[in-house]
Amino acid sequence: MQTAGAPVATPRPGRAAVGPCPTPPRPWHSVAAAALAAHWGVDPKHGLTDAGARAQRAIHGPNRLAEARPPSLGARLLGQLRDITVVALLFAALIAAITTWLGAEDTERGWARYSDTLAILTIVVLNALIGLLQEKRAERALAALRGFTSPRAQVRREGALRSVEATELVPGDVLVLGEGDRVPADARLLEGHDLEVREAALTGEALPVAKGPRPALDPATPLAERSNMLWLGTEVVQGRGSALVVATGMDTELGRIAGMLRTITSEPTPLQTYLARFGRWVVWACVAIAAVVFAVGLAAGRQTFAELLLTAVSLAVAAIPEGLPAITTIVLALGTLRMARRQALVRHLPAVEGLGAAQVICTDKTGTLTQNVMTVCRVAAAGRTYQVSAATHEGASAFHLLTEGDGGTPIAPREEPALWQLVEHAAHVREVTLVRSGGETVARSGNPTEVALARLALQAGMPALGPRTVLHDLTFTSTRKLATLVVAHGDRPRALVRGAPEVILARAQHTLGTDGGSTPLTAAERARLLAQTTAWGGEAMRVVALATREHAPAELAGWEDDLTVVGLVGMVDPPRPEAREAIACARQAGIVTVMITGDLPATARSVARQLDLTAPQSVDQEGVLLSGAELDALDDQALAARLDRLRIVARATPAHKLRVLEALQASGKVCAMTGDGINDAPAVKAAAIGVAMGRAGTEVTKAAADLVLADDNFATIVAAVEEGRAIFSNIKKFIFFLLSSNTGIVLTVFAAGLLGWAPPLSPTQILWINLITNGLPALALGLEPTEPGLMALPPRNPRAPVLDRNAYWQMLAIGALMAGVALLTFALLSGHPRTLHAPAHRLAQTGCFATLSLTALFHAFNCRSTTASNFQLGWLSNRALWGATLFSLALLALAIYVPALHPVFHTRALPWRDLGALTAISSAPLVLVELIKRAAWSKGHRRLTTAKR
């Protein structure tokens, strides 16, 4: 694979090469800018010539992301019709048409003769349309990627500044960029002045990154740390600069991601795999059964060829659960509404079921496990250390003086002179928005460090002052590592300095005493403060030193010298309060949580320790944590051997995310992967369940994801897993219901064929039972209340069938009972069951149709639970099932008693006395199963009582 950032030496197919284009041996960030300019033959002051730009364009093509032509509607429709069950139904429709034409049934006239054929074709078309609505999300992800490209760019060409279409840019062009510009290609910085670029869309890092024409970096430098590079799709938020274009179009980092999105295909979920395998099995079983019936019928000579064809069509329609795809889709769609109420927005329906099988959750740290809000947790002033906790209201026991051997003594900040000066210093903040929330003043927006300091002042009982009379404001730079605010203090200026402790301590000569007065800063005290900074850093804190300079001199440079140290402030991004409980809940459910973060190992360990992420292993146990560099040093086999213990990946890039995900999925795990930046999109799309952040995530990542978290909260993923398990449990219930009812229909038609009887059901009647009579209760079973204890069970094996062998035996037993009742009804009402055109045949078919419909409706109540009786569940606890049952009964009555529908459904009006008798005998499956469940419960209850004794 070509190294990201290296130019393309070989012309693309269809373009002529213009001159040699040797490739530098190292990535762009590791090559001196002057060497790159020489490589492209360009003078940075003048830019490319028009001829040189044309030559490069002939080699590299336009600066745009490749767009694959989407398949036509016709091609997509044909793709839906390739399914083997659809092919079988189309073949059945053809046979039904031929049978009607041959006159197997001549009791109807006009279009009603072809009602069976039309009914089958209608089902095929509806299923195809549902499939089309679920297709294709990759195009949306690629379309969102194209939205990150810039329409125009400022370049130097022929010594002049020009505005050109961004698609016309080529390697070697010199870009000129300013605040607000979107970077139109990957480029190596030539010059920069206070340049900051927001790369959140690409790397996921929320804060702008300082950029400059720095010397060549190490080739292994992660993308997020390549401070001498600009990337296509990022945005300049401050400063200005110029840069040499080194990659365009599909050769850029954004283009590489677009290419990965096009090649990564989503794996089918376990349910999709099962349904596809089951569909193939049903078709071949149907062919075998039809062949047996056909052979027996021909040998006996009791039926005509056309009558045997009609029986074969009936078997095909009976065996294939036509309503299953549509009902599954609807139940999954209803499941998305339940998930949305828990802040989980589903973009890809099969993910609803896939969530229930999740075995590993690979999650970001910032904003997902943590609050993404810098918060002061510890301060040090005048040799004392204070723990700062969240206060229930302003000043309420937020500060505790820490002494060796205790958990801290509550103190009032106003009673500690040095601490109060530190709080007053913190209260002078820049551009922090203060809002009222729940009766309190809360700092909400602004620079994260400033917001944290403002909140500290609020907790101490001092309102954030904001900059009063500001005389000078020197903002923080990565070179100085200081920020200074000079304010009026009485009649003299006062400098308030904040920055890196090592820088401030090197410039300081004094510190505060316990009385708040200034004392000389000794070498021992300076060493102690540096050691304290290091110790806090080991606890994942960001440490900021505060200092002042009273009566600052008029010279600008002198304000940051001869400082008085006020104290140290330790900040963290605290874990979400609900994250620890959610991780424990996932662990109880057999789900492993792996934190993948760009933070240092010490920070990652500290957060993991607070969240109890690695239990029952220790955070410090060997193999629990891997850094990005350690990951790079492992081959695939060595990484696979570490997966069982791996819980933390630190200093990780999006490429590391993808590699860990691929290793986990190669080991057979069903993985959920979170992401927010564009670079995360390939890993999110490749995961069995891709999860994007709703607030911090880019549109590209959301388009590639299955699930979007509206609140960016890890606990929402666990809640979605619970919903997924509940939905899959209900899917199993209605699949069992549909297949057992289908078994009853198949056995009815099969037995009648072997006995040489006339078909007991018409294809249209079978379709009605499959889709309407059974379909509505199946939907209601999909809404069955969640059974308790789902999250105490381990994840299901994704390779295990949806229904086990015991379920199939139960289906066969129930189906045989239903078929026996139906055949008895048909024989009694027909009088001559072997004669297709007997006067009573339509009445007998109607009776059989009603019996199988009623037994299915009664059987739906059996399927609410495999073990619990309806008396235990509560007969009225699923009101939707009662509604579906009553509505199906009403539709059945219309099909039987409305004369205008008789030609369509091949029915005749049944005497009400007969219908009452049929209803009574059709309740046999429900009564029998209830008795069995009751007996099993009583037996188990007696065993439990005996054991307690």
Which residues participate in catalysis according to the annotation?
Answer: 364
Q: Tokens at residue 638, please?
A: 């060595």
Residues 6+ apart with CB under 8 A from 392: none
Using left for φ > 0, alpha for ψ between -120 and 50, and beta otherwise, residue 914 falls in alpha
**Start-to-end CA span in the chain (Å):** 70
What 3-state DSSP class applies to 400?
A: strand
**Segment (H or E) for 547:** strand 542-550
> Are 573 and 371 contacting, i.e. CB atoms less than 8 angstroms apart?
yes
Q: How many CB atoms within 10 Å of residue 41? A: 13
Tokens 């057999």: give the residue. 590
Rounded CA separation 114/248 (Å): 61
Rounded CA separation 118/97 (Å): 9
> Are 183 and 173 contacting, i.e. CB atoms less than 8 angstroms apart?
no
> Are 472 and 494 contacting, i.e. CB atoms less than 8 angstroms apart?
no
> Are 683 and 551 contacting, i.e. CB atoms less than 8 angstroms apart?
no
Angle at 515 between CA 510 and CA 519, to 5 degrees: 20
**Phi, psi (degrees; rounded to nearest 5) at 873:** -70, -30
Rounded CA separation 851/919 (Å): 7
**Segment (H or E) for 506:** helix 501-507
**Segment (H or E) for 235:** strand 235-247
Using left for φ > 0, alpha for ψ between -120 and 50, and beta otherwise, residue 314 falls in alpha
Closest CA to 413 of 376, 373, 460, 381: 460
Rounded CA separation 202/222 (Å): 13
Rounded CA separation 810/606 (Å): 53
**Radius of gyration (C-alpha) of the chain in whole angstroms:** 36
Closest CA to 53 of 255, 248, 254, 253: 248
